[in-house]
A and B are shown apart, each in its own frame.
Chain A
Amino acid sequence: MNSTAQDEITAYVFAVRAALGDLPEAQRDELLEDLTEHLTEVMADGEGPLTDRVGSPEAYAAELRGTAPFVGGFPDPPTRPNPLIELRDQVLPVLRTADVKVGGVLGYERASDFGRLLRPAWWVLRGYLAAMVVAEILDGGDQPIGLLPRIGGSDGVALILLAAGILGSIWLGRRSFRLSTWPKAVLYGTSFVLVIVALTGFTQADGYTRDSYYSNVTSYDNPYSQVEDVFVYDAQGRLVTGARLLDQNGQPIHLGNAYCYDDEGTYADAPEGVYPYCASKAPFRMPDASDAPLPSPAPSGISPSAAEPSDAPATPSPSVSPSPSK
């Protein structure tokens, strides 16, 4: 490469630049950026002046201008504005900024980096949820299945199903990156449904836990919760006063409320555990207890000891429940 050739190229490029004088400075610079190098290659290939080989600078400039529209050689198909894509373009930058900002708080470059670490944990949770859904569908029992995927109340089945669900979910999770569009969509859809199921289940379980905290045992299944007073009758059907009820350990059995509110409306406190509290309200009363006959036929189950002659005035057992038939 001699200096004459170099000068020729420089002059040529200068002339082309002049011919493109009407273009914006930046576009022209960009267009001519590599021209000197390029023409050097052309020069190196053969003999003769540059103008003979590539034409006049003006023609060269005109040809260059012809390539200038910075679009594809084929007219691009008209792009219809897609509202979804436009929305995405607006939302994505905001999300990216949030990603970086939150990531800083978490100690990661991006929050999504942290989320990616949690992925296997989600696979395990998803496996558990899937097992729970399967158990819920297959289990025909009336009992609630609890927090394990029991079928027919079996813990063994629950553990096997749980292991299968978790292993399957992990396997699927590791493969999900390679799935094509449709299987992936199905997987994501199913995962979404599982999340909804999980939220529902969580809300229920949470509700049970809170409710049981407040539930009052005596007001629930206790058949004695309605008992206000206890009347003990002996074998002859006489009302025993001052009776005490004890359980097998000698512990006093407390039933009813230790006060008396008789028919005249007078209120009186009664000693705790000494029955009856309110003798005037006894459901059955003999006109004369001394010569009274045995209370056979006893009105429905009021006198548990009536069938067997016994000296015990009262059986200290909570299973004896004289229920006042009001």
Chain B
Amino acid sequence: MDTTQLLKGVLDLAVLAALRDEDGYGYDILRRLRTAGLGDVGDASVYGTLRRLYNGGLLTTYVVPSDEGPHRKYYSLNPAGRAELQRSGKVWQGFASTMDDLLRERGTA
């Protein structure tokens, strides 16, 4: 099974979760996701998802000057983003536990 296909469905939730405890700029978030174990996640996917979540009103941005490069655009969860994270997180947990149950019943896991 291809994890990139699975990832497509949950990338929004993954990006929101990566921003839960700490604000971050685009590449920063990509690194967080990869460190967390989502090695297959593509740069364009994270970048595009951030843009989309921002346009959807779930994120706010602010610019921080950087010594060794251009200004960095930081993304931050706003209340709507936190609400969406909670809602989608519940959907995911329900879905994941259903899958777990299914796999256990079949004796696969």
Binds B, one of A63-71, A190-198, A207-215, A258-266: A63-71
A141 interface residue (CB < 8 Å to B): no
Which residue in A34, A40, A61, A74 is a CB contact (below 8 Å) of B91? A74
Decide if A247 is an interface residue (CB 8 Å cutoff): no
Asked if A73 and B13 make an inter-chain contact with CB atoms under 8 angstroms apart, the answer reads: yes
Judge whether B73 is part of the interface by a CB distance below 8 angstroms.
yes
Question: Is B84 an interface residue, CB under 8 A from the partner?
Answer: yes
In this complex, the member of B12, B25, B26, B56 whose beta carbon has the largest number of chain A beta carbons within 10 angstroms is B26
Contact assessment for B69 and A30 in the assembled complex, using a CB-CB cutoff below 8 Å: no
12 new A-B contacts, CB < 8 A, other than A67-B45, A74-B10, are A30-B51, A33-B51, A35-B47, A38-B26, A40-B69, A44-B68, A44-B69, A54-B43, A54-B44, A60-B44, A66-B48, A67-B44
Measured in the bound complex, the distance between the Cα atoms of B13 and A72 in whole Å is 9
Asked if A72 and B12 sit within 8 Å, CB to CB, the answer is: yes
Q: DSSP class of A's interface residues: helix, strand, loop or mixed?
A: helix
Residues of A42-98 at the interface with B, using a CB-CB cut-off of 8 Å, are 42, 44-45, 53-55, 59-61, 63-64, 66-68, 70-74
- Give the docked Cα–Cα distance between A35 and B13 (Å): 22
Residues of A in contact, count (CB < 8 Å): 29
B47:A45 contact, CB within 8 angstroms = no
Complex formed: what's the CA distance from A72 to B48 in Å?
13
12 A-B residue pairs with CB within 8 Å: A30-B55, A37-B26, A37-B71, A41-B26, A41-B72, A45-B27, A63-B42, A66-B8, A67-B48, A70-B55, A70-B56, A74-B10
A41 touches B56 (CB 8 A): no
